[in-house]
């Protein structure tokens, strides 16, 4: 069992303090000091007696903390953080300021093993999963450094649903009323399409928003871009999404990276319309963001507009995403580009 207090829910903390002979409500002090006051040392949780704080330390309990190794800021306001974990591994996280919203795009794994062809993180390979505490701490560290966070998207390095338990635990930590209290409708989990995990997600008591990285309207093209499609082809994936929607009554977002000459034709758009018909959805069109080691090119604004017109004519709500963070390699698909190069 983890000795990291940042990795524990209030219920787990209650169990811990009672097992150590203390009052159950002491757990609330620990949780709020860690997740609201950003305490990184047990000695700083002053409502606890010195004797109990020392007992926790003596038994090996601690509070993990990310280290900001580098922070880059783009002229559009985007900030990219390189965090060093306690074992020396590193992940990147992005802060996106948009009017009154301040969204943090967080990572769930060090690297990724899904080998999506348009994604720089794939070049790193998979190193390990993050803990729930490490996932939530990206939000907490950025908030301490740069101000209030309003939205969280699990769209950084790694596949969230291949680190399912830690991801869902981190959602509960961030959503908890005694912690950051980020509303569940302001939290989005993005997945490459792990169909069984989508079905599992539907059975949870709380439901963050769901986004699915689709990127192609046919199995042949999607498998070329995203090898995970071999394991979870479109028919099964869309069935899982439809079941998720039936169970949760929530609209699903489809993310579609626009790659010049590959998946951006009018025929591709018409096929996509047929594919998602019957699913209440929103489509985000994202121009491919270049990075070293990949020869793709972005579709360009005119091609993206024509693609969007086909979807909108069919009644599908569509958004063309802005290219925020390109100047610091913080845009979609670029995280880990510098790490892979190094």
Domain co-membership, 220 together with 279 = yes
Active-site choice (92, 140, 143, 159): 92
List all residues 6 or more positions away from 125 whose beta carbon is below 8 Å from its beta carbon. Answer: 111, 112, 113
**Beta strand 126-129 pairing with 109-111:** antiparallel
Range of the domain at 204: 67-341
Q: Where are the beta strands (DSSP E) in the chain?
A: 67-73, 79-84, 90-98, 101-105, 109-111, 126-129, 151-154, 187-191, 209-213, 252-258, 281-287, 317-320
pLDDT the model gives residue 85: 97
Give me the mean pLDDT over the 74-94 stretch: 96
139 and 31 fall within a common domain:
no
Looking at residue 26, which CATH number applies to its domain? 1.10.150.530
Q: Considering 119, 192, 294, 332, which one is annotated as catalytic? A: 332
Are 52 and 74 members of one domain?
no
Residue 286: CATH number of its domain: 3.20.20.70
Question: What's this model's pTM, rounded to 2 decimal places?
Answer: 0.95
Any catalytic annotation for residue 294? no
Mind listing the pLDDT tens digit for each residue in 250-307? 999 999 999 999 999 999 999 999 999 999 999 999 999 988 888 899 999 999 999 9
Residue 116 and residue 24 share a domain: no
Q: Say yes or no: 26 and 167 in one domain.
A: no
Tell me the backbone φ, ψ of residue 33, rounded to 5 degrees: -65, -35
For residues 90 and 205, membership in a common domain is answered with yes
Query: 15, 34, 58 — which closes off a domain?
Result: 58
In what helix (H) or strand (E) does residue 201 lie, and over which residues does it extend?
helix 195-202
Identify whether residues 280 and 300 lie together within a single domain: yes
**CA of 288: how far to CAs of 67, 109, 150, 245, 329, in Å?**
30, 22, 26, 28, 12
183 and 322 in a single domain? The answer is yes
Q: Please, which residues bridge with residue 67 across strands?
A: 84
Of 15, 30, 58, the residue at which a domain comes to its end is: 58
The pLDDT assigned to 329 comes to 83
Total number of domains constituting the chain: 2
Could you tell me if 24 and 90 lie in one domain? no
The rounded percent of the chain whose pLDDT value lies above 90 is: 89
- Is 92 known to be catalytic? yes
Structure tokens at 87: 């074992």
Question: How does pLDDT run across 199-233, given as a tens digit for each residue?
Answer: 999 999 999 999 999 999 999 999 999 999 999 99
Place of tokens 């009052």: 23
53 and 77 belong to one structural domain = no
Dihedral sign from CA coordinates of 33, 64, 84, 325: negative
Distance CA 187, CA 250 (A): 13
């Amino acid at each position: 069992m983890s000795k990291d207090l940042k990795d524990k829910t209030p219920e787990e903390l209650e169990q811990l303090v009672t097992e150590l002979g203390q009052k159950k409500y002491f757990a609330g002090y620990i949780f709020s000091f860690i997740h609201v006051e950003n305490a990184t040392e047990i000695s700083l949780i002053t409502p606890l007696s010195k004797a109990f704080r020392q007992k926790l330390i003596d038994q090996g309990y601690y509070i993990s903390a990310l280290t900001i190794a580098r922070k880059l800021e783009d002229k559009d306001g985007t900030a990219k953080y390189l965090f060093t974990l306690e074992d020396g591994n590193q992940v990147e996280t992005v802060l996106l300021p948009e009017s009154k919203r301040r969204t943090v795009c967080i990572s769930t794994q060090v690297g990724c093993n899904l080998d999506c062809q348009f994604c720089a993180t794939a070049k790193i390979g998979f190193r390990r999963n993050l803990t729930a505490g490490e996932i939530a701490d990206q939000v907490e560290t950025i908030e301490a450094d740069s101000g209030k966070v309003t939205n969280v998207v699990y769209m950084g390095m790694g596949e969230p649903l291949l680190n399912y338990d830690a991801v869902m635990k981190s959602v509960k930590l961030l959503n908890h009323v005694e912690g950051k209290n980020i509303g569940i409708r302001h939290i989005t989990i993005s997945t490459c399409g792990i169909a069984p995990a989508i079905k599992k997600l539907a059975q949870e008591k709380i439901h963050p928003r769901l986004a699915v990285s689709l990127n192609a309207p046919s199995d042949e093209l999607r498998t070329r871009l995203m090898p995970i499609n071999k394991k979870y082809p479109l028919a099964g994936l869309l069935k899982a999404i439809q079941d998720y929607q039936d169970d949760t009554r929530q609209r699903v977002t489809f993310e579609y990276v626009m790659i010049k000459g590959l998946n951006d034709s009018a025929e591709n758009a018409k096929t996509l319309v047929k594919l998602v018909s019957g699913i209440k959805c929103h489509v985000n069109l994202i121009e491919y963001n270049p990075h070293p080691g990949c020869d793709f090119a972005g579709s360009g604004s005119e091609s993206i507009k024509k693609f969007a017109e086909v979807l909108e004519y069919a009644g599908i709500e569509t958004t063309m995403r802005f290219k925020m963070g390109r100047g610091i390699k913080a845009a979609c698909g670029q995280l880990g580009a510098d790490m892979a190069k190094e």
